[in-house]
Chain A
Amino acid sequence: MVNVRLERVSKVYNGKKVLNNVDLEIKDQSFTVLLGPPGAGKTTIFRIIAGVEHPDTGRIFFGDKDVTKLPPKERQVGFVFQSYALYPHMTAYDNIASPLKAAKMSKAEIDERVHSIAEKLGISQVLNKLPKEMSGGQRQRVAIARALVRDANIYMLDEPLTNVDYKIRESMRIELKKLLRERGGTIAYATPDPQEAMSLSDYTAVILNGVVEQYGSMEEVYNRPRNVKVGFYFSFPPMNQYPGELVKVGEKTFIDTGSMKVEVTHAMDVLEKVNEKEFILGIRPNQIKLATEPVENPLELELETIVTEIIGSESLVHLKLGDGKMVIHIPSIRRFEPGERLKIAFNQKEVFIFSKATGELVYAPEVG
């Protein structure tokens, strides 16, 4: 078990900078989540660590050993591909046993290890089946078993739950979390879903178009996003963001976004230090309540519904705000028809403030 470190790794493919000077350390025995939209470079980082891809510049260290030039064979990593990459012509048993056979382990030991990991993942009954004879969930577990069955320096899972039907994704995630915690070792987990990052990780690295925007403990990154991009992405559903100008009225100060004025006097001591005029306000949809609910120092708005989107047992209402829109999250199924007017309110002290010039975080609300 060992720290895995990437130093100034860059990779260009087809003229597009897929990785841009990435410095990232995945601490030993930690559960690190790489969060970022598809195509942000998460998979490329995993592929470079696994050695199936070489970086254009930069180096990779396992502990203090430089493995940049080593072929995958000598890196001893466990890798769960997003497409599972199960060998279609081999049974589940042979798929899982493949790394052990490559390491020339004894038949008895292979048998014992495969059956124990299969037991843990509840796939003992499909061991003699071919991938096409299994359900999606079973195939996914076989892929995970193949990665975890060996003692690897690092276990990498590339969006394992993305192609799982979202109804059973939640239970799969809980089960996966329990299993990976038990397995121990260094675990790296890539996902585009902020909720997965929140529920799984000790450490989170937010990666947007090839750049590690922020790395830290999950709470730290969620509650104090370093800039507008991280704030927008590491939030489910995505954070509402509105550029606005600082305006002084009497001894109160507001940020006027054209469609609303938000009081920010409480953040003045921080804002003055930055001596800028233009800011970006950030409000997460779940921080916005229907006016009927109690909200401290509220800002009330009445907006027109564009469309209500129901996801699981919750609703996302898209409201017209000036020429942009504001999305609010309601934790139950409430459908507002397009055109219907809605009174909403949010606590002006819970607003994130970013500098418009640099996009950096200026003020973050205390954790409620």
Chain B
Amino acid sequence: MGSEKTSVVKGKLSNLLSYDFFAVLPTTLVFVVLLIVPLITEFAYAFSTLTEPFSLGSIIFVLNDPLYLWSFIRTVIYIIIDISIKFLVGLIAAVALRQVKGYKILWGIFLLPYAMPLVPALYVWYCLYHPAWGLINYVARTTGLTSTIINFLGDPSIALYSLIWAHAWRFTPLWMTILLAGLHGIPEEYYESAKIDGATPTRTFFRITLPLIKRYLLLNATLSLIWTSGEFVSIWVLTKGGPANSTHVLGSYAYWYMMAGGNFHVAAAALVCAFPLLLVLMAIFFRILGWR
């Protein structure tokens, strides 16, 4: 039908007693009171210190604190490696699963790590990583892979990466689902047409399948970058920022200043100074969303 309809169902905000007003009121209240006000409060705290109401003291402190700088860098490392693991393992799993009979049931079972609660999932890796009675070290020793004990969470040089793996391990099944959903969404005719056009499986995958779901994957990848930048739980459960502060990220840095240090101003400043990173990632997200 040519003409787009301007139905009365599409309400206007003008008539206050209308259904539309009452439907939108609660969420607007939630949005303003529970999201905008905290945002403003946070800026207020960031641009003040324990003593003066308006000062850049906290901001300057944070920007000069090497621990903050490293926390920022570690966050960036964290989100990039995290998405890479999730994407690659998820992709391999999705492509492999589609070839296997009864992949729907396996898909459900493989979602187990994502279905179980977050904290126990992290504790699993705490036990596996344990230098003394951890399974990984035990298997490595008995099969003679390495003679020395690998202290996954104790050795500052690898603690962060052990953290990232535990976190990525838990969320990979979600990414397997995202990829399967993407592959699933492509009509069968594309594969049949490719067969008729004589394309080999690999050429079909890279020249036809991936381009079709490229935008969809990039959207979800950016979303993962944004959400994981707020990561806190894996640090709090497994290393508490240790050893020797080598695994602090933005979230844990702010938490520890807020709770242990009792200094909300520095915590707020730490978070506010990370907003540029968030805004850049969100800008990327909206640009991809706007693509054809």
Contacts and interface: CB of A to CB of B under 8 A. Distances in A.
A associates with B = yes
B4 interface: yes
Contacts of A71: 8
A39 B8 contact: no
A82 B108 CA distance: 41
B83 to A, nearest CB: 39
Contacts of B2: 38-39
B1 A52 contact: no
A13 B1 contact: no
B3 A41 contact: yes
Contacts of B3: 13, 16, 18, 39, 41, 43-44
A63 B2 CA distance: 31
A48 B203 CA distance: 55
Nearest to A44: B3
Contacts of A47: 5, 7
Interface in B1-26: 1-9
A53 B5 contact: yes
Interface string A38-65: 1101011001000111100000000000
A14 interface: yes
B199 to A, nearest CB: 35
A41 B2 CA distance: 9
Contacts of B5: 13, 44, 47, 53
Interface residues on A, range: 10 to 19
Contact of A39 (B1, B6, B7, B9): B1
Contact of B8 (A14, A16, A51, A82): A51
A18 B5 CA distance: 10
A52 B9 contact: yes
Contact of B4 (A13, A41, A72): A13
A208 to B, nearest CB: 13
Nearest to B6: A13
A81 to B, nearest CB: 10
Contacts of B6: 13, 53
A115 B98 CA distance: 50
Contact of B7 (A16, A38, A41, A52): A52
Nearest to B7: A52
A319 to B, nearest CB: 31
Contacts of A18: 3
A54 B1 contact: no
A82 B1 contact: yes
A33 to B, nearest CB: 18
B54 to A, nearest CB: 49
B1 A43 contact: yes
A71 B8 CA distance: 9
Contacts of A13: 3-6
A108 B9 CA distance: 32
A82 B5 CA distance: 14
A39 B3 CA distance: 6
A52 B6 CA distance: 9
Interface string B176-190: 000000000000000
A38 B1 CA distance: 6
A54 B4 contact: no
Interface string A67-91: 0000110000000001000000000
Interface in A13-51: 13-14, 16, 18, 38-39, 41, 43-44, 47, 51
Nearest to B3: A18
A52 B4 contact: no
Interface string B48-85: 00000000000000000000000000000000000000
Nearest to A41: B3
Contacts of A38: 1-2
Q: Which 8 A-B pairs have the closest CB atoms?
A: A39-B2, A18-B3, A13-B3, A52-B7, A13-B6, A52-B8, A13-B4, A39-B3
Interface of A: 13-14, 16, 18, 38-39, 41, 43-44, 47, 51-54, 71-72, 82
Given A43-B1, A52-B8, 4 more contacts: A13-B3, A13-B6, A38-B1, A47-B7
6 contacts: A13-B5, A38-B2, A43-B1, A52-B8, A53-B5, A82-B1
